[in-house]
Structure 1
């Protein structure tokens, strides 16, 4: 099996770049079948991933966080030449929320061996389509597409000078955004049903966690052929504080606070532009977005998906 490792050396406050060669060496002879490619700038992993698919690699390992995986999957998915390889992940980063959906063992060496191993399990992807200046753009995502509050937090976090502080900096960004919540109205369809709601955030989820470990979509799983849609109505900053704390503690939310539904797609519009993100990567602002499920889109080299909903 030909294996390509796409490494974001800046992930995990630059620990990925320092530790990857040591980690690879620690697994002995298996390291010889891994070709390492280094990302040099934002978006570079996407073009590298397209290239390794064209080159016929069987397994591509994203070495970094959720943003690295997002770039890798988009590079692989939109490249039409070559067979779609299976994907693994060695987590370095602040959140690594997608990785939390799987039983992958403890310790980095064990996680690398899982990323190299067989078998890989079939998982779904989400696809979003939204207008840009010169037409429509499409992106795929593995874990979550978020509109509103969580995207505003991502924007603030990525523009801060303290990203190296990781989760602490993310928490400060969340508190700052809680003080200036921006409610918005959404209207459209979720699955086959009409939908209208005033909200401070909306998310289409395939994974249980987002926002650096918040367990909000408790019934979601990458191996399910459906989205879990979650949204919260406008509330005070203190009203939002409690659901956030409960999410980080892994407690199920009160259904009167966080509303949830399920389906394979959505078309949503708003009278005002809303900040939105996918897998922790800021996509910009939009007044309309189309969301589609791609079941069994690719194979992920992970342990069993964790049992959700408990």
Structure 2
């Protein structure tokens, strides 16, 4: 078995760099020929996978967090090979949301390697989105509004690990404002006064938030989670319920399933696909049913 491994040594607050030797040894012990390529800057993973000759490999592995997987999946989609090998995950990042839907928790890298070498796979949906005239892909969740603002704030506290996003949320609660939202969901128009939108392929966002409890990675639909106008006190009470996915039962939260989604307004809201900060509204999103194959 020969694998291309895109490895982010900065993942998990550089914990990934300290784990590298053990991961290499684990592959060697299983007689796997692993070609490690290391990301050195933002979007490097995209270029590494896009330019690789994937016909030489039995699998392409993202070793890092959600951001590493985001880069790998975009490079993978840009690669010109028609019949590509399966993808895999070694979850060694701060957040590994998509890995959770493959029954992998953060830093279960030994279990991840076991799954990869068994060569058992499943197909998963892939989300394609267009922003500012460019096409990108994500596996997990794309959000904007309050969630993007909280994400931006959380980056200042990233050294605190999984607590960083919680701090970002509470900081932004002090400044939060609604905005007029206009969307089209599978041809049906929708309007509201909104705090945030999350468009999810998976159940989790980050390491601990069950943002879309009914989401399935292979059902052909994206789950659209909307938080509409509510008092600050109500939202503070609602926030802890996201850890268990119970927020969807609140009257201020609406949930839809759709294959094609267009966000028409507001404009210029920063997006956060798979934890990254890039692109702006308006956007078009489509679920590509079982478009990619993962070791599981």
- TM-score category (smaller protein): over 0.9
Q: Which one of the candidate residues 226, 230, 235 is aligned to 2:230?
A: 235
Q: Which one of the candidate residues 279, 286, 296 is aligned to 2:290?
A: 296
After superposition, where does 1:72-111 map in structure 2 within 5 Å?
72-81=72-81, 83-104=83-104, 107-111=108-112
Structure 2 unmatched ranges of 5 or more: none
Distance 1:127 1:107 in 2: 28
Distance 2:67 2:2 in 1: 24
TM-score (norm 1): 0.89
Shift of 1:252: 5.3
- Specify the alignment match of 1:281 in structure 2: 276
Shift of 1:31: 5.1
Contact 2:131/2:283 (8 A) holds in 1: yes
Shift of 1:294: 0.7
Structure 1 unmatched ranges of 5 or more: 303-310
Matched, 1:62 2:62: yes
SS in 1 for 2:17: helix
After superposition, where does 1:117-196 map in structure 2 within 5 Å?
117-131=118-132, 136-158=133-155, 160=156, 162-196=157-191
207-216 vs 70-79, which moves further: 207-216
TM-score (norm 2): 0.93
Contact 2:66/2:98 (8 A) holds in 1: yes
Structure 1 segments (4+ residues) deviating >3 Å = 53-56, 104-107, 249-252
After superposition, where does 1:9-20 map in structure 2 within 5 Å?
9-20=9-20
Contact 1:25/1:31 (8 A) holds in 2: no
Aligned residues: 295
- Specify the alignment match of 2:51 in structure 1: 51
Contact 1:53/1:83 (8 A) holds in 2: no
Matched, 1:215 2:213: no
- Listed one character per residue, the Cα deviations across residues 111-145 of structure 1 (whole Å, up to 9, x for unaligned) are 222133321100010011112xxxx0111000111
Distance 2:39 2:14 in 1: 12
